[in-house]
Homo-oligomer: A and B are copies of this chain.
Amino acid sequence: MIEPFDDVHFMKKALQEAEAAFEKGEIPVGAIIVIDNKIIARGHNLTETLTDVTAHAEMQTITAAANFLGGKYLKNCTLYVTLEPCQMCAGALYWSQISNIVYGARDEERGCINLKTKLHPKTHIKGGVLEDEASALLKRFFIEKRNLN
The answer on a CB contact under 8 Å between A91 and B95 is no
Of the candidate stretches A29-37, A47-55, A121-129, A139-147, the one touching chain B is: A47-55
Number of residues from A at the complex interface, CB < 8 A: 29
Of the candidate stretches A13-21, A81-89, A130-138, the one touching chain B is: A81-89
Select A92's contact among B51, B72, B88, beta carbons within 8 Å. Answer: B88
On whether A91 and B67 interact (CB within 8 A), knowing A51-B72, A54-B62, A59-B54, the answer reads no
On whether A91 and B86 interact (CB within 8 A), knowing A51-B67, A72-B51, A72-B53, the answer reads yes
Residues in A lying within 8 Å of B, measured CB to CB: 47-48, 51-54, 59, 62-63, 66-67, 70-73, 86-92, 94-96, 115-118
